[in-house]
């Protein structure tokens, strides 16, 4: 036994994702049903009450726990709900994979969802529950790397702009994305500042949404469909708060570095093997740092690779092919599952206008909290 114990044990045989956006007329249950029934259809599941053995769901904002999903889908099953900031969706997926890999269940449903737009707040609210736990907004948590990173490596807002412009473009190509609007460098520079250096276009679009995945044991997968996707590795890290970590250098996010090491070892692949990736772009700088923290390029070199178009569709490693959190939308608990949905479509050649040529290995990545949590899932063709 070891980190490779789950490699190739679980397969994805169905995926679903509702339209992300300001879904004023949809309840969380409505979106869960949309996503889950798409995934059922994709997996050829006609009687979910009989064919699904267990459910793992994830939500950051829900107060209802597993009941939200079990009631929506009318399932009497073992149902678990997890919460792990922005890594919530990947964590729910990880629980499903582990449950399959250990032989407990044949088929499980993974659901990620969130409904932030029911709160009457535009953007993330400034929570003030304690006097010192949040003297700023989430944009402020993630922007604290900027002053040090910019100084050390000479990067600037122009480099961030290219990330935002790319993700806006990719969002126009994904049917279920929230924002379908190209932006220019001029739009980017003229937008109001949220938390320096982040302007409006550096920040992800917070939306409602739900996504779902059906997992089964690898040896059963071909009975569901001809082109199943196998899970090479999945890991979720949580760590101490980087804001008070005396060894934090503000040049990299440690949760990503730590999780990536594990995820690649679990999967038996390296960063060079990755053909397509969905990474956490809650803010543009997060995506930039993630290129380096995952090993897609050397520390400090992201701006050159961005300038070369390496991470654009048609580049050497397309990242956030569906527009990412920036344009597809960011319903916190759904995001990790939505990324797996996109990677499955890419690996199966079903990504239409945004299809990456013949990918074999796909990676998805979330980072959340202050940030303290990181989830990474690596998928491959069976």
Partner 1 sequence: MAGILSYGAYVPPTRLAFATVGGRPAKEGGPEKAVAWNDEDAVSMAVSAAVNCLRGLDRATVDAVMFASTTYPFAEKQGAAFLARALDLPRSVRSVDFSGSLRAGTSALRAAADAVAAGSARRVLVVASDCRTAAPGTPLETNVGDAAVAFLVGDADPIATLDASHAVADEIVDVWRTAGDRFIHTWEDRFVVQEGYLPGIVEAVAGLLEKTGTSPDDYAKLCLYAPDARSHGGAARKLRVDAARLQDPLFGRLGNAGCAFALLQLAHALEDASPGERLLAAAYGDGAEVLAFTTSEHLEKLEPRRSVSWHLARRRGVKSYDRYLKARNLQLGEYEPPRDQGLSATIHFRERDEDVSFVAQKCNACGAVQFPHQRVCETCFAKDGFARQRLSDRTGRVLTYTFDFFFPTPDPPTVVTICEIDGARVHLQLVNCAPEDVALDMPVEFELRRIHQSGGRPNYYWKATPVPEAG
Residues making contact with partner 1 (CB under 8 A): 123, 126, 128-132, 135-137, 139-140, 143-148, 151, 192-197, 240, 243-248, 250
Spatial separation of the C-alpha atoms in residues 168 and 182, rounded to whole Å: 5
Task: Specify the residue, 157 or 338, whose C-beta has the smaller distance to partner 1.
Answer: 157
Residue 143 Cβ vs partner 1, minimum distance, rounded to whole Å: 4
Query: Which is catalytic among the residues 18, 57, 86, 282?
Result: 86
Smallest separation (angstroms) from partner 1 to the CB of 201: 14
Closer Cβ to partner 1, 102 or 127, answer by number: 127
- The half-sphere exposure of 341 on its side-chain side, counting CA atoms within 13 A, is 31
In the residue annotation, 67 being an active-site residue is answered as no
Angle at 372 between CA 367 and CA 376, to 5 degrees: 35
Complex with partner 1: residue 122 or 270, whichever CB lies closer: 122
* Residue with Cβ nearer partner 1 (146 or 313): 146
Q: Which of the following is catalytic: 280, 305, 330, 370?
A: 330
CB of 141 to partner 1, least distance (A): 9
Would residue 18 show up in a list of annotated catalytic residues for this protein?
no
Least Cβ distance, residue 129 to partner 1 (angstroms):
7
Per-residue H/E/C for the chain: CCHHHHCCCEEEEEEEECCCECCCCCCHHHHHHHHHHHHHHHHCCCCHHHHCCEEEEECCCCCCCCHHHHHHHCCCCCEEEECECECHHHHHHHHHHHHHHCCCCCEEEEEEEECHHHCCCCCCCCCCCCCCCCCCCHHHHHHCCHHHHHHHHCCCHHHHHHHHHHHHHHHCCCCCCCCCCCCCHHHHHHCCEEECCEEHHHECCCCEEEEEEEEEEHHHHCCCCCCCEEEEEEEEEECCCHHHCCCCCCCCCHHHHHHHHHHHHHHCCCHHHCCEEECCCCEHHHHHHHHHHCCCCCCCCHHHHHHCCCCCCCCCCCECCCCHHHHCCCCHHHHHHHHHHHHHHHHCCCCHHHCCCCCCEEEEEEEECCCCEEEEEEEEEC
Q: Please, what is the minimum distance in Å from the beta carbon of residue 163 to partner 1?
A: 18
Minimum Å gap between C-beta 71 and partner 1 is 29
Identify which of residues 35 and 145 has a Cβ nearer to partner 1 in the complex.
145
Catalytic residues: 86, 330
């Amino acid at each position: 036994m070891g980190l490779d114990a789950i490699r190739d044990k679980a397969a994805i045989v169905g995926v679903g994702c509702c339209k992300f956006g300001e879904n004023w007329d949809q309840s969380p249950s409505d979106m869960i049903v949309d996503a889950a029934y798409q995934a059922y259809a994709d997996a050829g599941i006609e009687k979910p009450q009989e064919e699904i053995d267990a459910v793992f769901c994830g939500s950051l904002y829900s107060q209802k726990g597993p009941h939200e999903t079990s009631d929506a889908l009318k399932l009497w099953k073992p149902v678990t709900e997890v919460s792990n900031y922005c890594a919530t969706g990947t964590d729910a997926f990880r629980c499903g994979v582990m449950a399959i890999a250990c032989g407990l269940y044949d088929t499980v449903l993974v659901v990620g969802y969130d409904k932030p737009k029911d709160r009457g707040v535009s953007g993330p609210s400034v929570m003030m529950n304690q006097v010192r736990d949040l003297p700023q907004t989430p944009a402020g948590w993630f922007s604290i790397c900027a002053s040090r990173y910019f100084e050390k490596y000479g990067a600037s807002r122009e480099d961030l702009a290219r990330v935002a412009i790319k993700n806006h473009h990719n969002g126009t190509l994904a049917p279920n994305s929230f924002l379908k609007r190209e932006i220019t460098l001029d739009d980017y520079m003229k937008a109001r500042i949220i938390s320096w250096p982040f302007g409006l276009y550096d920040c992800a679009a917070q939306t409602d949404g739900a996504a779902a995945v059906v997992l089964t044991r690898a040896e059963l997968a071909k009975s569901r469909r001809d082109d199943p996707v196998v899970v090479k590795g999945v890991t979720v890290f949580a760590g101490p708060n980087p804001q008070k970590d005396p060894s934090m250098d503000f040049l990299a996010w440690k949760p990503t570095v730590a999780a990536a090491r594990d995820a690649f070892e679990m999967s038996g692949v390296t960063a060079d093997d990755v053909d397509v990736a969905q990474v956490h772009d809650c803010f543009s700088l997060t995506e930039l740092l993630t290129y380096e923290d995952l090993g897609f390029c050397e520390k400090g070199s992201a701006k050159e690779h961005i300038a070369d178009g390496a991470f654009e569709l048609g580049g050497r490693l397309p990242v956030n092919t569906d527009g990412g959190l920036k344009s597809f939308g960011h319903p916190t608990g759904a995001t990790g599952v939505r990324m797996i949905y996109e990677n499955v479509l890419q690996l199966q050649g079903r990504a239409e206008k945004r299809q990456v040529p013949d990918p074999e290995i796909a990676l998805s990545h979330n980072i959340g909290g202050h940030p303290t949590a990181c989830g990474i899932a690596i998928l491959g063709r069976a």
